[in-house]
Structures are given as C-alpha cells and as structure tokens.
C-alpha cells in the first residue's frame, strides 16, 4: 500500500493571497472589518483519504479535499481538480475566488472547490473511475443539489462528473441531476458547457477591444494551455479573425510569429500527446511564451505563472486570465503600473460557472435549452459583468481586478448582513 504526496509548486501561498486581496478590497471599498474577518475564512474544510485498488492488485491511498467558503447567496459551487500538486491551501483559495466569481456574475451561489492529490495521466481509466467513486463516497454528505454542486476543473472532465453523479444517485436511490454540472449530454449535461469558460473569456476580450475601438481582426494572441479553456479559446479567436502566434501544454509549446494553424495543431496534439514536432513552428517553453510580443496573453493553465520576476518583461497589452490566479499580487501591481490591462479570473473565466448554473437550473426543471439560448444568455451575463466592472474601474480609478472584487465582495457582504448571524 502506497500513499501519494503533493509536491510543492507554488511561489506564494494562494490562501494568503486570497485573504490579502480581500483585506485590500475591504479598505478600498470601506467594508466593515468585522465582515472581512468573517469572509476571509472558509466555512468548512473536509480532508479525506481515498484508498484505491490499482489494476495490478496493489492499493494506493490518495488525499482529497472539499472546501466550502461561503453560502450567504446560495448553495456552494465549484470544480474538482485532479493534480499531483493540489494542496489544502490552494483548494481553500480557489473556493474563495469561486465565491467572488459567482457573486460578480449575479448567480445564486457561494463558493466551493475540491481536489485530489493525484496525477490522472498515470491512472488507467478503470483506476480513475474507482478512485473517483471512492472520493465521492467519502464526501457524499458534503455535496448535493441544494448544498454544494461540484463541476470539472483541471484534470477532470465530463466522464468524472458522470461517475460522481452515478455514485451519488445510487446512494440516494434515484437520479439526482443537479448534484454536479459539466455532465455528458446523455445524462443531463447542458449544450455549450464544454466551451463555456473559453467563450466567456472571448466575450471579455471583445468587450475590452470595443472600449479601445479596436477590431479582433489581426489581433495577435499567445495562449498558455491547450486544455478545455486554452484549446477552445485559441480555436474561437482564430474563427473570429485573430492570429494565435503561440500555444502550449504542460510539456511546452510552439510559436510562429506569422500565426499557427490552430485546428491542425490541436488535432496533432490530440493524436500524439504533445505539440513537439508540429510543422511550421518553433518549440518554446511555457516561460518563453509568457514573454512573447503580442496584443493579448491568455494564461489558461495553472496559477502563479506571471510573477514579480517575469512581469516587468511581459510584452502583451492585455492579459486575460483564463486560469485561476495566474498572476501573483506583486506581478499584478507591476502590470498595472506598466499600463497593461488585466482581465481578472473572476471575470474572464467565469463563463464555465455561468453555464454550470444553466445546467443546474435545467436539471432541476428537467427542461433543456438550445445551444443558441445558452450562448446568448451567457453573453448577456458576462458582458453585463464586464460593463459593471469597467465602469467601477473608471469611477474608482483602480484596476479591473480591484473593481471586480469590490463589486463581488460588497454583494456577499450585503447578503451576510441581510441574513444576520445565527444564533
């Protein structure tokens, strides 16, 4: 029997970053310090062990987490990630950011997050299913359609959500469509959910270009990450007329200053497992991609990839946070001082949770929408949030991040005051 351990991978403690951000928002927007003291702590943190039978008969024990930050505005909502570098504090930070994201979008949810310390690429499909079902059984009393609703995140997908849905439903004795979102269409998923995070990021990029009276045609973009967010965003940008000059995955990336054939590059990666050897492109590292000269840099992989060390050398005019927390606070200040517009994660990658909300509603009603309806309603919610954030930024003469957080935190604070403290 072996136990998986999480390697250290973060430059700064993400939970401390989230708390520092909240305190700054409290000072800037004049929010009662007592409220900030309540909001900076997570409501519940559950840690579980996940013994899993391997295909060879051995047993590996993994560590899993489910964290609920806040439920003042409704049941908690947030993804589950499978990654070897998951930590408790990372999951807690992500749950806090989910609270602000849901609030900024005007959704009736609080924030939650989950994670398992595991490299899913090293597990067979049968091992992955057994681990997922055991993890679900360990947290089954923590989740539910009116309590806490998981969704996919890094390292998880619709199949993982299907196993969670089935395990939960088998224990309840009937199908519970609303227990998770991001499910396959065959069992209550929503049209448009897979591409939703990338589509929301695209809407934000289009809105900031509109403010600058610029067209997306010819826009030069570097995308870090080729998963569900980065891959779809790159493809959508090209379809809208932009030029994607670089894209990467965890192993490295490719670059062509004249533009990449994104559909071919993504097909090549799907077939061979990486971009290495792709035609008409030079190989670059993820670190080099961050520093490329471009109009838009979209970090869509893991957190803390733009730091105090490389922020002075970023050449993009706009940074669109497709990932959660890819820019550290110190780097944020450097980019702001340099006049680089940062579209913060709570705004730029909120499309996924918006369509997750749509899926949850459809599941509860057992009435499903057309994809055109899903995308139109997503556009309405994301662009409204962008407008509110942009206007607050101008009024307060602050950054997009501070404006977005200010709106979100004030809404959660108002809900907390309105509900009062029990008992």
What's the rounded mean pLDDT across residues 324-338?
A: 94
Question: Is a pLDDT exceeding 80 seen at residue 326?
Answer: yes
Angle at 393 between CA 385 and CA 208, to 5 degrees: 60
Does residue 126 surpass a pLDDT of 60? yes
List beta partners, residue 44. Answer: 68
Q: Give residue 4's pLDDT band: very low, low, confident or very high (50, 70, 90).
A: very low
Task: Report the alpha-carbon distance of residue 97 to residue 278 in Å, rounded.
Answer: 36
Residue 112 three-state SS = strand
Comparing 2-8+42-186 with 196-348, is the CATH topology the same? yes
Spell out the domain ranges in the chain: 2-8+42-186, 196-348
In order, the DSSP letters of 116-133 are: EE--GGGS-HHHHHHHHH
Kindly list the distances between the CA atom of residue 311 and the CA atoms of 304, 332, 401, in Å, as whole numbers in the listed order: 11, 8, 16
Residue 10 neighbours by CB distance under 10 Å: 17
CB 389 within 8 A of CB 346: no
Angle at 184 between CA 75 and CA 55, to 5 degrees: 100
Spatial distance between the Cα atoms of 348 and 365, rounded to a whole number of angstroms: 28
List of long-range contacts for 382-385, beta carbons under 8 Å, 24+ apart: 382/105, 382/200, 382/203, 382/204, 382/347, 382/350, 382/351, 382/354, 383/203, 383/207, 384/106, 385/104, 385/105, 385/106, 385/347, 385/350
* Residues in the chain, total: 423
Q: Are 232 and 194 in contact (CB under 8 A)?
A: yes
3-state secondary structure of 348: helix
Contact 382, 12 (CB under 8 A): no
Whole-number average pLDDT of the chain? 95
Q: Alpha-carbon distance 373 to 193, whole Å?
A: 12
- State phi, psi for 188 to the nearest 5 degrees: 95, 15
pLDDT for residue 2: 43
pLDDT classification of 34: cutoffs 50, 70, 90: very high
Which residue among 77, 101, 113, 183 is the active-site one? Answer: 113
The verdict on whether 113 is a catalytic residue reads yes
Cβ neighbours of residue 367 closer than 8 Å, sequence gap 6 or more: none
Distance, CA of 354 to CA of 328 (rounded, Å): 25
Residue pair 212/184 in contact by the 8 Å Cβ criterion: no
Measured CA to CA, the distance from residue 352 to residue 192 in angstroms comes to: 9
pLDDT bin (cut points 50, 70, 90) of residue 5 is very low
Can you tell me the mean pLDDT for 255-275? 96
Percent of the chain's residues with pLDDT above 90: 95
* 7: pLDDT strictly greater than 60: no
Q: Is the pLDDT of residue 149 over 50?
A: yes
User: pLDDT exceeding 70 applies to what percent of the chain?
Assistant: 98
Residue 319 reports pLDDT greater than 80:
yes
End-to-end C-alpha distance for the chain, whole angstroms: 46
Beta carbons of 135 and 143 less than 8 angstroms apart: no
* Strand 318-320 versus strand 296-299 pairing type: parallel
DSSP symbols for 180-241: -SS--GGGT--TTSTTHHHHHHHHHHHHHHHHTT--STT-EEEEE--SHHHHHHHHHHHHTT
Q: How does residue 9 score in pLDDT terms, banded at 50, 70 and 90?
A: low
Q: What is the CATH number of domain 2-8+42-186?
A: 3.40.50.10860
Is the bond preceding residue 13 a cis peptide, omega within 30 degrees? Answer: no
Residue 48: is its pLDDT beyond 70? yes
Contact predicate 83/91, CB 8 Å: no
Q: What gap in Å lies between CA 120 and CA 230, rounded to an integer?
A: 19
Report the CATH fold assignment for 196-348.
Rossmann fold (3.40.50)
pLDDT of residue 10: 72
């Amino acid at each position: 029997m072996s136990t998986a351990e999480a390697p250290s991978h973060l430059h700064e403690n993400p939970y401390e970053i989230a708390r520092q951000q909240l305190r700054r928002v409290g000072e800037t927007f004049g929010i009662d310090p007592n409220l900030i003291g309540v909001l900076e702590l997570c409501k519940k943190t559950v840690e579980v062990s996940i013994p899993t039978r391997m295909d060879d008969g051995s047993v590996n024990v993994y560590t899993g987490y489910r964290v609920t930050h806040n439920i003042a505005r409704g049941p908690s909502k947030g993804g589950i990630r499978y990654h070897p570098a998951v930590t408790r504090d990372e999951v807690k930070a992500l749950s806090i950011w989910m609270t602000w994201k849901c609030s900024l979008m005007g959704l009736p949810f609080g924030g939650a997050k989950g994670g398992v310390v595991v490299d899913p690429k090293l597990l067979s499909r049968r091992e992955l299913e057994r681990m997922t079902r055991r993890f679900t059984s360990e947290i089954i009393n923590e989740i539910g359609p009116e309590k806490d609703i998981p969704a996919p995140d890094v390292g998880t997908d619709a199949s993982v959500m299907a196993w969670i849905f089935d395990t939960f439903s088998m224990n309840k004795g009937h199908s519970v469509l609303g227990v998770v979102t991001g499910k396959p269409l065959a069992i209550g998923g929503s049209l448009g959910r897979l591409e939703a995070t990338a589509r929301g990021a695209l809407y934000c990029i289009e809105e900031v270009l509109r403010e600058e009276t610029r067209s997306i045609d010819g826009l030069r973009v570097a995308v870090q990450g080729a998963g569900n967010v980065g891959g779809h965003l790159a493809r959508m940008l090209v379809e809208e007329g932009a030029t994607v000059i670089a894209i990467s995955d965890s192993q490295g990336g490719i670059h062509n200053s004249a533009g990449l054939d994104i559909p071919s590059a993504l097909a090549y990666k799907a077939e061979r497992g990486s971009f290495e050897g792709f035609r008409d492109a030079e190989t670059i590292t993820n670190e080099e991609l961050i520093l490329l000269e471009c109009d838009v840099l979209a970090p869509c992989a893991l957190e803390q990839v733009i730091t105090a060390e490389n922020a002075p050398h970023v050449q993009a005019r706009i940074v669109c946070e497709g990932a959660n927390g890819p820019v550290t606070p110190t780097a944020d200040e450097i980019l702001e001082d340099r006049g680089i517009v940062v579209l913060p994660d709570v705004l730029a990658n909120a499309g996924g949770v918006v369509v997750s909300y749509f899926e949850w509603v459809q599941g509860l009603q057992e009435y499903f929408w057309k994809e055109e309806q899903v995308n139109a309603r997503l556009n309405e919610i994301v662009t409204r949030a962008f407008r509110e954030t942009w206007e607050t930024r101008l009024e307060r003469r602050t950054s997009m991040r501070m404006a977005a957080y200010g709106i979100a935190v004030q809404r959660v604070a108002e809900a907390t005051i309105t509900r009062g403290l029990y008992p």
